[in-house]
Chain A
Amino acid sequence: MQFGVFSVGDVTEDPTTGVTPTEGERIKAMVAIALKAEEVGLDVFAQGEHHNPPFVPSSPTTQLGFIAAQTSKIILSTSTTLITTNDPVKIAEDYAMLQHLADGRVDLMMGRGNTGPVYPWFGQDIRNGIALAVENYALLRRLWREDVVDWEGKFRTPLQGFTATPRPLDGVPPFVWHGSIRSPEIAEQAAYYGDGFFHNNIFWPISHTKQMIELYRRRFEHYGHGAADQAIVGVGGQVFMRKNSQDAVREFRPYFDNAPVYGHGPSLEDFTRETPLTVGSPQEVIERTLSFREHFGDYQRQLFLMDHAGLPLKTVLEQLDILGEEVVPVLRKEFAALKPAHVPDAPTHASLKAAAERARQLETIDEPAVVAEPTAEESTR
């Protein structure tokens, strides 16, 4: 199972000090968080993409490329890449480029973006959100898989004899997760292609997350990619930890009370009861996170939101130390012990490359074979 962090990239005042980082400080803080994530043994760093203040990460591949140069193991991902308002041609090129620079340590999570005003800035309309996600992703897949593409659709100018450069590393497109909080169409899309499905699992009760994941698993099986329990599922989580539970609650409360999205609303106690937010000791975080499996089945990727709501970098790095030293090693062991052998790990570049090579060999020996997603033993992490 993969463990990691995902960052929204908000620039928010620290409510306890009144200090707001500059954009530059926040961007560098995100880099420091990514490097720390690798240092403490996490598997994934994912970052959001936004085109409006108070968020800084408008250009994820620039930032992830910079991080790639300073890391060697961690997988770089997105949370999310805006499949609705970005040109799929540019996504295909940017992330193939990043793949080469990062030696394959790249995957993506597609999302639609829920900020209405962003769409018209990029010539789109939020009411077409689903249709854009469907059409743009269908094109993106072809751009990565076919060397020369002729294409015509509703939302972008047609392509004639177009080749996206560079071609994906080793001819293997990055693995794709589809993220959605509440749209069954996106779970359906992920299932149709046999891609991964990610639920951010932060702002909503666990019953909603469960409903989306169950739909994805059922349809994954329906489309013939494997059994429902072999579908590739990722979920988010949000934690704040101190050795003593009460200290964690006391320290985190002002950040919670003033947080973007849910601040000035429900109490910390209400929110931790209603959603997967866990504020307490490392042991409490371990127990809560292990309980996700009872709702979602054996899953492949767990990301935590650690750096938001104005938490200072120093605190976030301390949190990552606790996560990497005390929480993730236990979770890794416990989840692995529970996972049946037929449930695959999340695909990586290495496992996808091996699967593609095997498919090519089968093709030369036998009739053309359908490329299957990698099985458990092919996935390395």
Chain B
Amino acid sequence: MIGTETHQQDGRSAVKMDPEKKLPVLVIRRGSNTALTDIREIWERRELVYMLIWRDLKLRYKQTILGVSWAIVQPTLMTIVFAVFFGMIVQVPSDGIPYAVFAYSGLLIWSFFSQALMSGSMSLSGNANLINKIYFPRSILPLASVCVRLVDLGAAAIPLWGLMLYYKLPFTWSMLWCPLLIAQLALLSFALSAVLAALQLRFRDVGSIMPILIQAWLFASPVVYPASIVGNEWRKFYFLNPMAGIVENWRAALFGTPIDRSAMMISGSITLILSLICIRWFYALSRNMGDVY
């Protein structure tokens, strides 16, 4: 019953042309949606990605008083908390940078990551009614949700420049690394949240585990403390966490201290491998998403 892939080479949905009417023909069969056909379709449906981002941002304005300013308020409040307890009371070192700037710069990309994971992992179950009734590449939902967080990240970056000017920290060429690191972070966030979203549809437990997981991950990454205080015997394991390399080098790029190349290589390759695994897994899970949910 399954061997239906006879007259199309590889079982993928193919758009061929109807010889008479010149209409594109779409062939639907088992296994016709794969990551590769999806990439083409995501590109074709890029307006939908844009609309979903627009929907989220617009809804926030309609439903909250502060709207997008929450993107700035959240990391600011967290910075104040950590600056009081870690910076003033416990006096955690911060590699010679004022602790407030140190913490804000880390919490800035950390809140992007944690919120991308939180909202991304809910992006499929929160739109289950769409998945059931309208077809579009499913990966568009976690993708749009990560993009919304990128907009937030852009907004939350404004106070960082303010802080750096206030503390008279120099702006250097090494800042050119920042977009690359953000791209790596966005890829990691998308791949992880896609797979978590697909798992969340099957096992609602995922939603309960997420906050704890993210909390633990925060302390395993050099966000509110510098990686330099990690003992030598732990260092080689420490940088296996891809976030460690990202956060550490993000700061190095911002403040003009030397980039840790080996940390960058390790976290870069782990990000790539992990993302490929997650994306494959996502497609295995997404096969018949429209059926059950």
Partners in one complex: no
